């Protein structure tokens, strides 16, 4: 049997004199949900882009990734000249593509938008289409690059629930990059904090789902992670 654990060893990325990733090593268990937190410029996007194959990995780095990989970006990045269902199955070949697109779109609640143009979708619908496009590939590794940052608060809450449901159903190894501590604690079983190109904190979240902000454990984790990010909170209680 193939080992589906994600392994990264000795990943260094430099842009000029700036070291973005500093001999980073990382292991993600199959089917786990991990959040990657970091300030802007901490290298979290570079790490995700390297895992997605968008940035070349240096020769000395060891990358052992589950395949196939699918990505959802911060923007939906739909091709405006292709109908929704064609966007979902872009790059795929084979028969019954439309049926596969329909099944994936139904899963994200867009079963009736198959033939819509992307420009007619709301921000949340476009991002759900992007999720369907990722899911239809049945990825072993799902990379989410701040996918909800551009959505309004209410849509974001719905998207969180949807992502969790999809993750539970398909069980891909999931890595979400975010700068939102609440989002990280709400979604992930493990939260990594990236700082200076290295993993500065590795926190396991052992809260049962659905998680509530009011939970004292939630608050403790939140404070712990914010502290790792260099933000100290003064708590009244």
Partner 1 sequence: MSETHAATAPRDLILAQRRRLSWPRVITSLAVPAQLRRFLSPLALVLLWQAASMAGLISPRTLAAPSTVLASAWELTLSGELPSHLLVSLGRVGAGLAIGLSAGVVLALVAGLSRRGEEVVDAPMQMLRTLPFLALVPLFILWFGIGETPKIALVALGATFPVYLTLFSGIRGVEPKLVEAGQVFGLDRRGLVRHVVLPAALPSALVGLRYALGSAWLSLVIAEQINANAGIGFLINDAREFLRTDIIVVGLLVYALLGLGADALVRLVERRALAWRPSLIKG
Is 90 an interacting residue with respect to partner 1 (CB under 8 A)? Answer: yes
Residue (of 44, 71, 56, 234) closest to 143 by Cα position: 71
Residue 26 has φ and ψ, to the nearest 5°, of -155, 140
Hey, what are 40's tokens? 């802007």
- Is the CB of 27 or the CB of 115 nearer to partner 1? 115
Is 94 an interacting residue with respect to partner 1 (CB under 8 A)? Answer: no
- Is the CB of 29 or the CB of 54 nearer to partner 1? 54
Candidates 82, 156, 170, 198: give the one binding partner 1 (CB under 8 A).
Answer: 82
Specify the residue for token string 């809450």.
157
Is 73 an interacting residue with respect to partner 1 (CB under 8 A)? Answer: yes
- Is the CB of 13 or the CB of 137 nearer to partner 1? 137
Candidates 69, 105, 135, 194: give the one binding partner 1 (CB under 8 A).
Answer: 69
- Total residues at the site for partner 1 (CB under 8 A)? 22
Specify the residue for token string 């904190």.
201
Q: Which of residues 101-120 bind partner 1 (CB under 8 A)?
A: 117-120
Candidates 128, 133, 190, 211: give the one binding partner 1 (CB under 8 A).
Answer: 133
Residue 168 has φ and ψ, to the nearest 5°, of -65, -35
Residue 78 beta carbon to partner 1: minimum distance, rounded to whole angstroms: 8
d(CA 25, CA 94): 37
How far CA 182 is from CA of 37, 132, 178, 219, 226, in Å, comes to 10, 24, 10, 9, 10
Strands 190-195, 173-178: pairing is unpaired
Is 71 an interacting residue with respect to partner 1 (CB under 8 A)? Answer: yes
Interacting residues with partner 1 (CB under 8 A): 52-54, 69-71, 73, 75, 77, 79-82, 90-92, 117-120, 133, 137
């Amino acid at each position: 049997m193939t080992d589906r654990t994600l392994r990264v060893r000795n990943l260094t990325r430099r842009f000029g004199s700036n070291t973005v990733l500093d001999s980073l090593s990382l292991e993600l268990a199959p089917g786990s949900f991990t959040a990657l937190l970091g300030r802007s410029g901490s290298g979290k996007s570079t790490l995700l882009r390297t895992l997605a194959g968008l940035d070349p990995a240096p020769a000395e780095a060891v990358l052992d990734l589950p395949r196939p990989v699918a990505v959802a970006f911060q923007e939906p990045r739909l091709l405006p000249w292709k109908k929704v269902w064609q966007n979902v199955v872009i790059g795929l070949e084979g028969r019954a593509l439309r049926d596969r697109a329909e099944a994936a779109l139904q899963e994200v609640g867009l079963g009736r938008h198959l033939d819509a143009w992307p420009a007619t979708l709301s921000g949340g619908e476009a991002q759900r289409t992007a999720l369907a496009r990722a899911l239809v590939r049945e990825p072993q590794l799902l990379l989410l690059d701040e996918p909800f940052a551009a959505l309004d608060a209410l849509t974001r809450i719905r998207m969180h629930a949807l992502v969790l449901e999809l993750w539970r159903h398909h069980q891909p190894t999931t890595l979400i990059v975010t700068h939102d501590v609440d989002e990280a604690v709400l979604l992930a079983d493990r939260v990594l904090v990236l700082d200076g190109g290295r993993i500065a904190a590795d926190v396991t979240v052992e809260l049962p789902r659905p998680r509530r902000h009011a939970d004292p454990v939630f608050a403790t984790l939140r404070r712990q992670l914010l502290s790792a990010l260099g933000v100290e909170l003064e708590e009244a209680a």
